Amino acid sequence: MSRKQIYEKLADVFEDVFDQRIALNDRITARDVEGWDSLTHIILISAVEDEFGVKMDMKSVQRLTNVGAMVDLIEELLAK
């Protein structure tokens, strides 16, 4: 799956979780998205895992500082 395809699917996940369309890019963080708090982060991670058929461990989740890091992790997990 290409990075562009990951972003397209991820945009759908974000829209479902946050109930708004968000123009995602590598630098977007929780501070940039209204309603992205610790609870929504857990919901987002679960939705991403379901959408991409991957499982993120706690250590990996902790290094997710922005959307770019999330895309990198998804790429890494899909390559396994």
| Per-residue pLDDT reduced to its tens digit, 26-71 | 999 999 999 999 999 999 999 999 999 999 999 999 999 999 999 9
Please give the pLDDT value at position 76: 96
Domains and CATH numbers, the chain: 3-78 (1.10.1200.10)
Q: Report the distance separating Cα 43 and Cα 33, nearest Å.
A: 14
Report how far apart the first and last C-alpha atoms of the chain are (Å, whole number).
12
pLDDT recorded at residue 9: 97
Computed over every residue of the chain, the mean pLDDT equals 96
Q: What is the DSSP string of 4-43?
A: HHHHHHHHHHHHHHHSS-----TT--GGGSTT--HHHHHH
CB 43 within 8 A of CB 37: no
The per-residue pLDDT for 80 is 86
Q: Average pLDDT of 4-30?
A: 96
